[in-house]
Structure 1
Amino acid sequence: MAQFDALRSGVSGARAAEIDQGLRAHMNKVYGTMSVGMLITFAAAWAISGLAVTSDPSLAAGQIGPDSYLTSLGVALYTSPLKWLVMFAPLLFVFGFSAGLGRMSAATAQIVFYTFAAVMGVSLSSIFLVFTGTSIAQTFLVTAIAFAGLSLYGYTTKKDLSAMGTFLIMGVIGLIVASIVNIFLASSALAFAISTIGVLIFAGLTAYDTQRIKTEYVAHAAHGDAEWLGKAAIMGALALYLDFINMFMFLLQFMGNRE
């Protein structure tokens, strides 16, 4: 917030009012793009899970419960070697998206973001096989409330949160490594630790990313960098989207009731 005030104070009153109005429009675009991405993700996850599981034995390619069967699609996605591609595709997509953003227009970046949201939905579709629909909905609601409060704090606080950014990013890298290791170890104690730390890290990142998006907007708006601002809204939406999804998934480990 201190950085925001310092940047804003360097322009005239009329220009400051224009920047404030532009900031509101920018944040609305960030949250709007993120929300559409979330809808695409959960719609894709629900649709894929519906195609992957059946109660009709004649369509079954594998059984996962007394009256629940995997279709051939379900077997391919969740039990064949393809599951590794489904699992890691979103991570690879994010790295590729970030690396190629400079060569994209804002419109192309938005399409790529929505495509990524659909890919993430395919990757997350297994939660509908593991957890009850009610517990998924309850966890989503809790995550939404927590996200709104943390993002509001990041937007309004006068405390500079930039110092915590490096620490949080290092924490994310550690979580990724620990999660990959635990795929092979299957340790419940390590899984619990990862989930606990993950909730805390992405709670902090939600506040940090919100403040960063706000500060970066003002820094570039003062120079009239319209093309950068268009793509910045997409990248801001991606950052907050990832914060929300990860916080939701870690909370689901605590709050989700298993089928």
Structure 2
Amino acid sequence: MNLSSSFSQAGSLVRVNAFIRSVYNWMAIGLGLTALTAFYVATTPALLQFIFGNQLVLFGMIIGELGMVFYLSARVQKMSASTATALFVFYSILNGATLASIFIIYTASSIASTFIACALTFGACSIYGMVTKRDLTSMGGFLMMGLMGIIIASLVNMFFRSPGVSMVISYVGVLVFVGLTAYDTQKLKQMALTQPADASGAMVRKGAIMGALSLYLDFINLFIMLLHIFGVSRD
């Protein structure tokens, strides 16, 4: 191996590490904003009443969240890095407001213990996705089918309200989001490796924001599924 090749590989490794670090930093910021917002709303009766006392407001916020995810995913290449960042931050706050209900439904100790379990599980899966030599691409289609199945089953169960079906959805959801965490992490590693050396700062920032959004969604959904299984109700 010649000297120029060694320098090239070293430079590539530095770029990959910087990109991955940026992704996890933004994911952590998003999770922090979500947690703080959820706690603030849960301890503010007026906001609780405004959001959860009116179904139109709650469903409007949920639809807004979905719209922001789809819009950011589809248009990120055509928007500025600052706009993409602002949308991610706003989405994290909005999601925190709708997740405030967990502080009403579950005990604080079960939320904390479930969060720790989720963080450890997420970390292990993410590390696996980063270091494994196995190509996880083939898992992507299967996992997306599982995700669609969860969404459809959850929508149907909104009308039947079956605790048994809800529990099955939660167990399947844990498996799906564990797989998606490893899959999305490997995708991010590949994205970092294939980024051109002369990529602009804005392009790198937008890539990091989209990566953070993917891992953020994996973490939040895994946490919710685990909370449905292990959470202790206040009732």
Residues 217-232 of structure 1 correspond to what in structure 2 (within 5 A)? 217-221=192-196, 224-226=198-200, 227-232=202-207
Superposed CA deviations along residues 3-29 of structure 1, whole A, max 9, x for unmatched, are: xxxxxxxx9332121010111111110
- Map of 2:51 onto structure 1: 77
- Map of 1:14 onto structure 2: 7
Higher relative contact order (CA 8 A, sep 6+): 2
In 2: Cα distance, 1:129 partner to 1:87 partner: 18
Residue aligned with 1:258, SS: coil
2:159 to 155, 168, 184: 184
Residue aligned with 2:195, SS: helix
Per the normalisation by structure 2, the TM-score is 0.92
1:234 to 206, 209, 232: 209
Q: CA RMSD in A?
A: 1.5
User: Partner letter of residue 128 of structure 2?
Assistant: Y
In 2: Cα distance, 1:116 partner to 1:127 partner: 18
Deviation at 1:105, TM superposition (A): 1.7
Residue aligned with 1:136, SS: helix
1:31 correspondence with 2:6:
no
1:151 correspondence with 2:126:
yes
Q: Is the 8 A contact 2:27 2:212 kept in 1?
A: yes
- The structure with the greater share of residues assigned to helix is 2
Which has the larger displacement, 134-143 or 182-191? 182-191
Deviation at 1:185, TM superposition (A): 1.3
In 2: Cα distance, 1:121 partner to 1:153 partner: 28
1:106 to 81, 85, 106: 81
Which has the larger displacement, 18-27 or 172-181? 172-181
For structure 1, the residue ranges without an aligned partner over 5 or more in a row are 1-10, 53-70
Q: Is the 8 A contact 1:46 1:128 kept in 2?
A: yes
1:50 to 43, 53, 58: 43
Mark the structure with the bigger radius of gyration: 1
| Matched-pair identity in % | 39
User: Partner letter of residue 187 of structure 2?
Assistant: R
For structure 2, the residue ranges without an aligned partner over 5 or more in a row are none
Deviation at 1:174, TM superposition (A): 1.7
In 2: Cα distance, 1:190 partner to 1:23 partner: 42
Query: How many residue pairs align between the two structures?
Result: 229
Q: Is the 8 A contact 1:19 1:221 kept in 2?
A: no
- Map of 1:135 onto structure 2: 110
Deviation at 1:249, TM superposition (A): 0.2
In 1: Cα distance, 2:61 partner to 2:104 partner: 15
